[in-house]
Chain A
Amino acid sequence: MLLTHVLSVSIWLPILAGVVTLLIGSDNKAYFTRWLALASSLAAFFATLPLYTKYNFAKGAFQFEEAAQWIPSFNINYHLGVDGIAVPLILLTSFTTLIVVIAAWEVITKNIAQYMAAFLIMSGLMIGVFSALDGILYYVFWEAMLIPMFLVIGIWGGENRVYATIKFFLYTLLGSLLMLVAFIYLFQKTGSFDVINFYQLPLTLNEQIFIFMAFFMAFAVKIPMWPVHTWLPDAHVEAPTGGSVVLAAIMLKLGGYSFLRFAMPIAPDAAHYLSGFMVTLSLIAIVYIALVALVQKDMKKLIAYSSISHMGFVTLGFFIFSQLGIEGAIVQMISHGFISAAMFLCVGVLYERMHSRQIADYGGVVNTMPVFAAFAVLFAMANSGLPGTSGFVGEFMVILAAVKFNFWVAFLAATTLIFGAAYTLWMVKRVFYGEVANHHVAELKDINKREFLILALLAAMVLGVGVYPKLITDFTHVSAAQWLSHMAISKLPVAGL
């Protein structure tokens, strides 16, 4: 039962655990609530591990499939399944949730049960998004996920949280509803919401372009791509540390993943047709947003812009349609999940002590927090793409693929190695090095065991993937090849048939 329903267990275990936490946890029993949440997230993490151990690397088709009737009136099924693209992202999700629960330990003091429950429920819903193979099932998970995130930013966020969280919700909702219209349109054509039927449906180029654009609205907002990225810096700045971590590490990946799962294979001709447009948007994100990051005064905002810039590599990798590009993009997604989570946690560590995110308020932190500074510098190096860290692998693969595609595209993309290093290291220099800036910094205490544990776990992952990227490419190799062969076949109706 557990093995045949790995995906269902991975989805519903954290959701149920979240509901239980919500019901029986409270601020009076803070200790108990925290341990309950930790136990739940650990169990949820272990529940996803069979996806790694039992995965058949040679198989390109969907694995761990589950199918049951759900709403027969509309032929909507509870259809789950994963391929090599989804599995690493699911593991990333359950891992990140575990990190977030530990990171919230002493930081969150009001409404603890609601906070923990929100993240546990969100974790289940996000795994649902990664494994749903039915349009409506996917849509339900995709939208439902907004509710806990909306509350997380709104309840535990900073000064301007209401503006940020409503902007986040409405931006995402707008895109999603257009996607829903596209799903219903595809349902009229195929008579079901099954993704696999959508893949085989022939569509004219015009239809494909409309469908692609509807999906684009939903996913581009989520990734986020320039110019619909403006919600992200706001949401990141106002969100509590845990919210920022989940946003950057997983939610952005949902957009990238969904391009691979829905928009592109359903409308492959439109994807080819619009690839120039998509590559341009990606390059604008990579170059322009990196320059924007350079001038930020707020650390969280800087990392948020850096996320947008790095996600530009993901979309660039998709739309040059090569094996190396796709695999690089997926490695980049995973790597960015670890690095951005780590960077936001580092800002969180500083913020708890100083209650400021302004770069100008810091200076010489290395003198008072040497262990912490070592971690922070490592993650900063990874963020700027230092070889040996995971940040290098993905970007390098995408740039290599881009060189084959078009030299100038690759050239522009490669500037990120300069700009990325510039904004990240400049921030590190101003925050960590130099003279001790003020007496607040002088009184800082180094990280405790709990903080050490989470940063060490993330550092291990960053270095692990950096040194041995086969961990991820083993999963993606066959699936990416199969995906490309699907993309190569035109779905335009053949004249005369």
Chain B
Amino acid sequence: MQNIQVDLMTALPELIVLLMAMLILLTGLFAKNKIIIYGLAQFTLFAAAFFTVGTHTSAVGYAFSGMFVDDTLADVLKLMILLGTSVMFVYTRQYMQLRNMFRGEYYALVLFAVLGMMIMVSGQSMLTIYMGLELLSLCLYSLVALDRDNAQSSEAAMKYFVLGALASGMLLYGMSMIYGITGSLNLNEITNTLLQGAPNHTVLILGLVFIVAGLAFKFGAVPFQMWVPDVYQGAPTSITLLISSVPKFAAFAITIRLLAQGLGQLAGDWQEMLLIMAVMSIAIGNITAIAQTNLKRMLAYSTISHVGFLLFGLMSGSLNGYASSMFYISAYVLMTLSGFGMILLLSRKGFEAENLDDLKGLNQRSPWAAMLMLITMFSMAGVPPTIGFYAKFTVLQAALQAGYIGAVVFAVLMAVIGAFYYLRIVKLMYFDAPQDNVAISAPNDMKLILSFNAFALLALGIMPQMLMNICGAAIARSLQ
């Protein structure tokens, strides 16, 4: 009895999200005014965040027979996921209302996806990780298809589902091989077994290849990036915002758990795989983005290149490197929230604002919005004094420390190419004349949060130390 209580207390934030998601699903059926659901969803996120912080200790706690872990890394990432989702709800409210998608399912599905992410973040057994991942993925597949009469969305959802299922299969296959060799699903036990000497290195590596492929798919790293542009473009912008932002925290968490924690002994092998993927992601992401005319698709390729930079930190295989990756991903999520938030701000009923040309002359229509987007774009390009610069700086520093000078110089040259398409956005907003002059209408809370969001990129760029400390501490305490 005692044991169950400890287990449930450890997973308290997850339980809150689970119960509230079910409640919202029910309420959605009966509530006349759907704003109640919105309020409930926001309340859920804040309650879960509150208990995540409230139950935080610097020690590592296990639950459910060691399948679930509650450490600093998990708490920090959960907090970021919850806050990110909350911001996303603010940005998407009006967009969903105008498109008749402001329904209970939307909030319930997102909350289930959040639950999936939280389980992934806390997964200490390969099975837990896989369960969380599937919960997240299934919710995302259906969210992409939420606008069910839209052919493009349905196509995107189909692609996402088929490729996603394949990737999940690969991940599971890899896990089963590791299980077969080590005889355990628990990451700590796998580490211990590997420390005693791997029984069969070849099978182990084969399993590792499948796991890395599965992870790379979830990140959208080259050569598993094919789904990213289509899904980003096809999904309703609010869902694109979701897919491109917080799930990356969860993907980062399971990569750390699986590769660094569980298979840390094989670092020499997966570092090489990550290096190839990182270099290719940066190259293909940045070069292909130049040719895009659709803003969402361009940001999709930009995401691929950001993932490449993120892998730079991971592949350096040091605590410092993992912390730099975590810093990168936090910066990335802030930037992507702001970027897609701007598309949502500019869209209106019957108008998606998803083409590059829709940004033309934004400085004349709304100098404030243009400035927010300017900060976001320079941050994505990695120009100081924005957080995007420190994100690139920290991962490059970690990679240089690990001795990858050639790869770093290559990444830097690619970043110059990347700067071009971000500059093109600035050019459209500032140097061109506006094409349409419809006033921008958005709820005040969204304008306020979006402003905070964009200025956070600048403020954290001037004072990055706090976020660096948080990431450093989370990694250090969890991976000691």
Chain A interfacial positions (CB closer than 8 Å to B) = 70-74, 111, 114, 136, 139-140, 143-144, 146-147, 150-151, 154-155, 161-162, 165-166, 169-170, 173-174, 177-178, 180-181, 184-185, 187-188
A-contact bits for B403-417, CB 8 A (1 contact / 0 none) = 001001100110110
A140 and B412 within 8 A (CB): no
Residues of B within 8 Å of A188, CB to CB, are: 400-401
Q: How far is the CA of A448 from the CA of B431 in the complex (A)?
A: 31
Chain A residues near B413 (CB-CB < 8 A): 174, 177
Interchain Cβ contacts under 8 Å between A and B, 22 examples: A114-B367, A136-B393, A140-B384, A140-B389, A144-B385, A151-B430, A155-B363, A166-B423, A169-B419, A169-B423, A170-B419, A173-B419, A178-B409, A180-B393, A181-B400, A181-B408, A181-B409, A184-B400, A184-B408, A185-B400, A185-B405, A188-B400
Contact A143 B400 (CB under 8 A): no
Partner of A170 from the list B394, B405, B416, B464 (CB cut-off 8 Å) is B416
Instruction: Say yes or no: A184-B396 contact (C-beta < 8 A), given A71-B468, A150-B426, A162-B431.
Output: yes
Flag if B383 contacts A143 (CB, 8 Å). Answer: yes
Bound form: Cα–Cα A178–B408 in Å: 10
For A174, the chain B residues whose CB sits under 8 A away are 413, 416
Query: Are B427 and A166 in touch, CB under 8 angstroms?
Result: yes
B431 near A161 with CB under 8 A, answer yes
With a 10 A CB-CB cut-off, give which of A111, A150, A173 has the most chain B CB atoms.
A173
B465 at the interface (CB under 8 A from A): yes
Contacts of B173 in A (CB 8 A): none
Main secondary structure, interface of A, reads helix
A461 to chain B, nearest CB (A): 32
Q: State the CA gap A185–B378 with chains docked (Å).
A: 25
B412 adjacent to A178 (CB under 8 Å)? yes
The 8 A CB mask of B12-29 against A (1 = contact, 0 = none) is 000000000000000000
- Residues of B whose CB lies within 8 Å of any CB of A are 363, 367, 374, 378, 383-385, 389-390, 393-394, 396-397, 400-401, 405, 408-409, 412-413, 415-416, 419-420, 423-424, 426-427, 430-431, 464-465, 468-469, 472
Interface of chain B, main secondary structure: helix
Q: How far is the CA of A428 from the CA of B342 in the complex (A)?
A: 51
Residues of chain A within 8 A of B408, CB atoms compared: 181, 184
Alpha-carbon distance A78/B427, docked complex (angstroms): 33
Residue numbers in A under 8 Å from B401 (CB-CB): 188
In the complex the two chains form, is B400's CB within 8 Å of A150's CB? no
Q: How far is the CA of A180 from the CA of B412 in the complex (A)?
A: 9
Highest count of chain B CB atoms <10 Å: which of A144, A161, A187: A144
Chain B residues whose C-beta falls within 8 Å of the C-beta of A169 in the assembled complex:
419, 423
Q: How far, in angstroms, from A150 to B396 measured CA to CA in the complex?
A: 26
Most buried by A among B367, B405, B413, B430: B430
User: Are B383's CB and A187's CB within 8 A?
Assistant: no
Q: Which residue of B lies closest to A151 (CB)?
A: B430
Closest B residue to A140 by beta carbon equals B384
- A162 CA / B415 CA spacing, docked (Å): 20
Given contacts A155-B363, A170-B416, 14 further A-B contacts (CB under 8 A): A71-B390, A72-B465, A136-B393, A139-B384, A144-B385, A146-B383, A155-B431, A169-B419, A173-B383, A181-B400, A181-B412, A184-B397, A188-B400, A188-B401
Contact of A144 among B367, B383, B416, B469 (CB under 8 A): B383
With contacts A144-B385, A180-B412, A188-B400 taken as known, whether A155 is within 8 angstroms of B430 at the C-beta atoms is yes
The residue from A70, A71, A162, A181 contacting B396, defined by CB atoms under 8 A apart: A181
Question: Which chain A residue has the least Cβ–Cβ distance from B384?
Answer: A140
Separation in Å of the B216 CB from the closest CB of chain A? 26
A161 and B419 CA atoms in complex are apart in Å by 18
From residue B429, how far is it (CB to closest CB) to chain A in Å?
10
**Roughly how many angstroms separate A144 CA and B382 CA in the complex, as a whole number?**
11
* CB of B135 to closest CB in A, whole Å: 35
Once A140-B389, A184-B400 are accepted as A-B contacts, the answer to whether A170 and B420 lie under 8 Å apart by CB is yes
C-alpha spacing A491/B340, complex, angstroms: 51
Contacts of B385 in A (CB 8 A): 140, 144
Partner of A74, one of B384, B397, B412, B424: B397
B384 touches A144 (CB 8 A): yes
**In the bound complex, what is the Cα–Cα distance between A279 and B9 (angstroms)?**
73
Q: What is the CB-to-nearest-CB distance from A229 to chain B, in angstroms, rounded to a whole number?
A: 18
Please give, as numbers and ranges, the residues of chain B lying within 8 Å of A155 by CB-CB distance.
363, 430-431
- Whether B416 and A173, one on each chain, are in contact in the complex, defined by CB atoms closer than 8 angstroms, is yes
In the assembled complex, the Cα of A268 lies from the Cα of B367 at a distance in Å of 48
Interchain CA distance A235-B384 in the complex, whole Å: 22
CB distance from B121 to the nearest CB of A (A): 24
* B412 contacts A143, C-beta separation under 8 Å: no
Q: Give Cα distance in the complex from A162 to B426, angstroms.
A: 11
| Chain A min CB distance to B163 (Å) | 34
Chain A residues in 8 Å Cβ range of B464: 71
> Which residue of chain A lies nearest to B375 when distances are taken between CB atoms in the complex?
A147
Report the separation of the CA atoms of residues A174 and B468 in the bound assembly, to the nearest whole angstrom: 27
A73 & B465 in contact (Cβ 8 Å cutoff): yes
A177 with B415, Cβ < 8 A, contacts A71-B465, A147-B378 known: yes
Inside 8 A of B419's CB, which chain A residues have their CB?
A: 169-170, 173
Q: Which residue of B lies closest to A169 (CB)?
A: B423
Complex contacts, A144 vs chain B, CB 8 Å:
383-385
Bound Cα distance A185, B383 (Å) = 19
Distance of A111 Cα from B364 Cα, bound (Å): 9
Complex: A170 Cα to B363 Cα, angstroms = 22
Please state if A143 and B384 are interface contacts (CB–CB under 8 Å): yes
Closest residue on chain A to residue B371 by CB atoms: A22
Residue of A nearest to B367 (CB): A114
Report A-chain residues with C-beta under 8 Å of the C-beta of B472: 73
Q: How far is the CA of A162 from the CA of B427 in the complex (A)?
A: 7
Instruction: Look across to chain B and name the residue whose beta carbon is closest to the beta carbon of A146.
Output: B383
Cβ of A185: which chain B residues have Cβ within 8 Å of it? 400, 405
When chains A and B are docked, how far (Å) is the Cα of A159 from the Cα of B146?
46
- Chain A residues, CB < 8 A from B469: 73
Contact B412 A154 (CB under 8 A): no
- Give the shortest distance, in Å, between A235 (CB) and chain B (any CB): 14
Name the residue in B416, B424, B469 with the highest tally of chain A Cβ atoms < 10 Å from its Cβ. Answer: B416
* In the bound complex, CA of A154 to CA of B363 (Å): 12
CB pair B416–A154 under 8 Å, yes or no, is no
A154 cross-chain contacts in B, Cβ below 8 A: 426-427, 430-431
The answer for the CA separation of A232 and B423 in the assembled complex, in Å, is 19
Q: Distance in Å from the Cβ of B321 to the closest Cβ of chain A?
A: 13
Question: A150 — which chain B residues lie within 8 A by C-beta?
Answer: 423, 426
Contacts of B400 on A, CB cut-off 8 Å? 181, 184-185, 188
A184 vs B465: C-alpha distance in the bound complex, in angstroms? 18
| CA–CA, A155 and B363, complex, Å | 10
Interface pair A73/B431, CB less than 8 Å apart: no
For B327, give the chain A residue with the smallest CB separation: A73
- The smallest C-beta distance from B367 to any residue of chain A, in angstroms, reads 8
Give complex CA distance A345, B350 in Å: 50
Q: Which 7 pairs of residues, A with B, have the shortest CB-CB distance?
A: A140-B384, A177-B412, A154-B431, A174-B416, A73-B468, A143-B384, A71-B465
Q: Which of B409, B412, B469 has its CB near the most chain A CB atoms (within 10 A)?
A: B412
